[in-house]
Structure 1
Amino acid sequence: MNSRRIVCFVISMLMSTVGHAQTLRLGVAANFAEPLKEISKRYQQQTGITTTLTVGASGTLYAQIQHGAQLDVFLSADSERPQALVESGRVGSDDVMTYAIGRLAYLDRDVRAPGIHDLQTYALAPGTRLAIANPRLAPYGRAAKEALHTLTLWPNLATRLVTGKNVQQAYQFYATGNVDRALVAYSQVYHLKKHVHLIDASLHQPIQQQLAITAPQDNRAAARQFVAFLLSDETQQWLAQRGYQPVGDEYQ
């Protein structure tokens, strides 16, 4: 039995103690908001426990928690903020775990079935603009920068990037026609049949999306039950069909 299954088994033992009238307060990074809405709906159908979602940038949610915001589970787009909560003493190390692995995708409006060679070709063309999330603020932006460095394209593109404050805004630059190429989250575009290339994960560091259980004592059992549901094989395989890589032992 792998470590994720062990975690889920242990946490699931709490289920019999959780009342069905509770409401869980979930803070979630924008890139994971849509999947979480569906997961929360399924969770409520199985348990009767309702959820409320606060959607925002990981850094903003982290700051709100540090200033006393009442959230039961914080689902970050990265691992830095949950780990910072551990370092500050806000949560214990066993309250933090990886819940999804993000993947990066290349969008190219001019090519129906683009490959990495198309990114390399257009990066050298005069006037090419490429949208990415801000590498200083967003994990998908950082992964995009790492991939471009690995491909030795960063020097050519660094001054021609159109940066969004998050990966949603980077995608919007492409969707609205402001740019013809972008590096975005695969979960945003997995359903598209054309113009998408899944970036090889070896070109950048894993995009580990971690959560932190920040619930007060009276809601901790319900929060842990929700986390068990999120980490279950069924939910992880559902996420795999929507552009995320399932969590494995190597990321725990």
Structure 2
Amino acid sequence: MLIPIILIAGLIALYEYMGSSGGKENIFVSAAPVIQPLLSALSSNFTSQTGINLTVSYDASGTTLEKLRLKAPIDIAIFASEDWEKKAEMEGLVKNDTKTKIGVVLLFLYVKKDLNVSCIDDLGMPGLKVGIANPSVAPAGYEAMRIINSSKNKDDILKNIVVAKDIGQLVTWYKMGAVDAAFVWSNFALQFANTSRIIYPWSCGYETKPFYFVGYVTSYTNNTKAALKFLQYLNSPEALGELKKLGYFTSVEEAYKFMGKG
């Protein structure tokens, strides 16, 4: 248990430091990396409007759940899929009545433009490096493995898999060229537009579904009021406008329509 103890001790020290700075309220957020572009765009505006400071740790959803189990000093938890949020609800780690749906994404396969890859089945080519986020903690990685395991070429594809700790690390690897293809959320399409082609899983016969990310106030926070203000802000017209600008879907129905199922 050495690593969790060190983790919690570090977080507590950070939290205490934040609480003593500037006389302002502070809230600590553990959020799925999929929401990083949105929170980066909105955090300063929220602070200027409310006087509440935000400190955000971007963690795979399974990592956020583990932090909650260890009672890490977290006021808001934001998960990338309903599977992880249900676990948090069932274990009493979050306040169920604070559940806030924030945005929706789909899983895309991004490939470098010069690669001769037109479908998921082609990912088994020798020497190809295919990146996924850790499926044991990251919803995107879990969904990627579900799709890969449905391929007739899954044995060859699995030989090419490279596993990142989370989406944030995978995005970095892909930008650096450490992997040739990557299963990443749809909102990163704008970042990859100049270097990549997008393969939609459903366009070559693989079923997938929209994933909404959702936030909660944690069950043990002492900052419920401030945390609720931030969750409410994430559903404000300003936040919804930013969602669209950054390439997120604003509803499951909108995502299904994009897939041609609306």
TM-score, scaled relative to structure 2: 0.73
8 Å CA contact 2:95–2:219 kept in 1: the answer is: no
Q: 1:77 to 1:120 in 2, by over 3 A?
A: closer
Q: Which residue of 2 aligns with 1:197?
A: 198
- By how many angstroms is 1:94 displaced? 1.6
Q: Say if 2:214 is the partner of 1:213.
A: no
| 1:109-124 superposed matches below 5 A | 109-111=112-114, 118-120=118-120, 122-123=122-123
Tell me: CA distance 1:91–1:56, structure 2 relative to 1, closer, same or farther (3 Å): closer
Which of 67, 71, 74 is the matching residue for 2:74? 71
Q: Give the alignment's Cα RMSD to 1 decimal.
A: 3.1
Tell me the residue number matched to 2:251. Answer: 247
Superposed displacement of residue 80, structure 1: 3.0
* Cα shift readout 1:229-248 (whole Å, capped 9, x = no counterpart): 10224312311222321135
- Secondary structure (helix, strand or coil) at the match of 1:84 reads helix
Residue correspondence of structure 1 range 166-245 to structure 2 within 5 A = 166-194=166-194, 195-197=196-198, 199=200, 203-214=207-218, 219-245=223-249
Cα contact 1:140–1:207 (8 A) shared by 2: no
C-alpha displacement of 1:198:
5.9
1:51 shift after superposition: 1.5
The answer as to whether partners of 2:164 and 2:170 remain within 8 angstroms in 1 is yes
Q: Partner amino acid for 2:164?
A: G
> Residue 38 of structure 1 corresponds to which residue in structure 2?
41
| Larger CA deviation: 28-37 vs 130-139 | 28-37
Query: Is the Cα–Cα contact under 8 Å of residues 25 and 73 in structure 1 kept in the other structure?
Result: yes
Which residue matches 1:16? Answer: none
**Alpha-carbon separation, structure 1, partners of 2:179 and 2:227:** 41
Q: Distance in 1 between matches of 2:99 and 2:162?
A: 33
| Structure 2 contact 125–156 (Cα < 8 Å) conserved | no
Q: Please state how far the C-alpha of 1:76 moved relative to its aligned partner.
A: 1.9
Give a deviation string over 1:17-45, Cα, whole Å, max 9, x none. xxx94222222223323421322112122
How far the C-alpha of 1:56 sits from its partner, in A, is: 2.7
Distance in 2 (CA, whole Å) between partners of 1:31 and 1:166 is 10
- Residue type of the alignment partner of 1:37: S
The equivalent residue for 1:29 is: 32
The question of whether the paired residues in 2 share the 8 Å contact of 1:107 and 1:182 is answered with yes
Contact 2:130 2:182 in 1 (8 A): yes
Gaps of 5+ in 1: 1-19
Would the aligned equivalents of 1:103 and 1:198 in 2 still touch at CA under 8 Å? Answer: no
Q: Number of aligned pairs?
A: 229
- Structure 2: give runs of 5+ residues left out of the alignment: 1-22, 256-262
